[in-house]
Amino acid sequence: MCHPHPLGAANPAAGFAARGPENNAVYGLLAGCQCLLSADARKVWRRYMCGLCESLARGFGPAARLLATPDAAILSLLVEAQAPSIARSPSRCLLRRPFYVKVPATSSAASRFARAIAVSAAAARLDDAALDGDMRPRWLARLAGAVLRPAARRARGELLQLGFNPAVLAQAQRDAVEAERFSHDFDALSAPVERAYASIFGHTSALAGEPGGAAAGREIGRWFGRLTYLTDAQADYTQDLVHRRFNPLAACFARTARAEGSSLAQSALQNLREAVARLDVRCHRHVLDQLVSGALTRKIALACGKSSGKAGAGKPAQDEFTASGKRPFWRRWGGCRREDGENPRTCWANLCDCICGACDCCACGPSR
């Protein structure tokens, strides 16, 4: 199992190829969740995804857009949801509709923090994949690491300017490796990841100028990190057993690993809901609630091998994937269209990764 780094950053050399709809190891825990948002919430969420993409390009070059992940975009959303004022800047992009959108200003603390975390996490995950031998050929891993290393140094400098200590992320990675050597207690194994996420999410309150919300932010980060660790372990469970790699669920629970993992995920999800409800925000409450209560609930259910949600319940999660676990090439393109009563809803992203189970799209709809 590849150690899950903060915010589930994508592995740049992996070509963003998904192994399945439940796999958060490539895309992040919130990947594909936009399909279950309301029309208004989806417009707000799009602003932050597009804002992160543009901020990465401005700060680290056009190629850095590939490092954009929803788990980093939620950081800028949390900062601005708690801030008394919000800075906006115009964004024009031919890859989306509408062409013109106002997104968080790339010079704002929210955007800078999100992009720095995204780059730092991507670099850490790439180094870990190369160390574990998960990337082939090895020379490609070394080349990708060399290309990303200067950007990671700049990202660490930007985090220091924003008052966040990047050493917390490196220490969490070392603690996770150490815990795997000596511990067979799941709480001890997930603790380093939970601490890293707690530090990251807790710092959003400081950036918003609302230090009183740090405790709730840290609690949100803790359970978010635990869910990321759990779903990553669930997704990698079979492959880890085949290749005799470490898996925390197998190490702690043996034959009842799947059931125990599902139980822990449901408990963590409930705690995350309660932590989000305690966070004092000035705006975007409906977006946070829908992400946690609707979309993320569905994502966790798929990761744990269950089916939930009103539409598409009971449909096999792997119907539209090949034997290798990758989505067929001809199914990757085209918008995701979901009928909700009389209102058709279309995903903003052409490369759809929806998890709603009710769409006629590349990930979960019937064959065209």
The secondary element (H helix, E strand) that includes residue 58 is helix 39-60
How many angstroms separate the CA atoms of 339 and 244, rounded?
44
**pLDDT at position 200:** 96
Report whether 287 contacts 280 (CB < 8 A).
no
pLDDT at 324 over 70: no
Q: Give the mean pLDDT of 302-320.
A: 44
Q: How far apart are CA 101 and CA 47, in angstroms?
A: 7
120 lies in some domain: yes
Provide the mean pLDDT of the chain.
76
Compute the average pLDDT of residues 34-48.
87
Decide: 304 and 298 in contact? Cβ < 8 Å: no
End-to-end CA distance of the chain: 35
Does the structure show a pLDDT above 80 at 173?
Answer: yes
pLDDT at site 21: 32
- Helix/strand/coil for 134: coil
Tokens found for residue 68 = 């954009």
Q: What is the pLDDT of residue 225?
A: 94
The string of DSSP letters for 153-199 reads: HHHHHHHHHTT--THHHHHHHHHHHHHHHH---HHHHHHHHHHHHHH
pTM here is: 0.79
The answer to whether residue 281 sits within a structural domain is yes
Establish if 99 belongs to a structural domain: yes
* Better pLDDT: 334 or 43: 43
- pLDDT for residue 1: 62
313 found inside a domain: yes
Q: Please indicate whether residue 10 or residue 194 has the higher confidence score (pLDDT).
A: 194
Q: What is the mean pLDDT of residues 49-64?
A: 91
- Rounded CA gap, 64 and 70, in Å? 14
With respect to residue 193, please indicate whether it lies within any of the assigned structural domains.
yes
Higher pLDDT among residues 19 and 351, named by residue? 351
If pLDDT is split at 50, 70 and 90, which confidence band does 333 have?
very low
Domain with residue 257: its CATH number is: 1.10.600.10
Number of domains in the chain: 1
pLDDT at 3: 55
Predicted pLDDT at 131 = 66
pLDDT score, position 2: 52
Residue 281 · residue 81 · CB < 8 Å = yes
Q: Which residues pair with 103 in a beta bridge?
A: 89
Assigned domain for 360 exists: no
pLDDT over threshold 80, residue 280: yes
Q: How many CB atoms lie within 10 A of CB 101?
A: 19
Q: What is the pLDDT of residues 80-129, one digit of tens each?
A: 999 888 888 888 887 777 788 888 888 899 999 999 999 998 888 887 77
Q: CA 45 to CA 230: how far, in whole Å? A: 25
3-class DSSP state for residue 9?
coil
Instruction: Write the pLDDT tens digit of every residue in 215-268.
Output: 999 999 999 999 999 988 888 888 888 888 888 999 999 888 888 988 999 999
Q: What integer pLDDT is reported at residue 276 of this predicted model?
A: 94
Instruction: State which residues form the domain around 222.
Output: 6-346
- The pLDDT-based confidence of 181 (bands split at 50, 70, 90) is confident
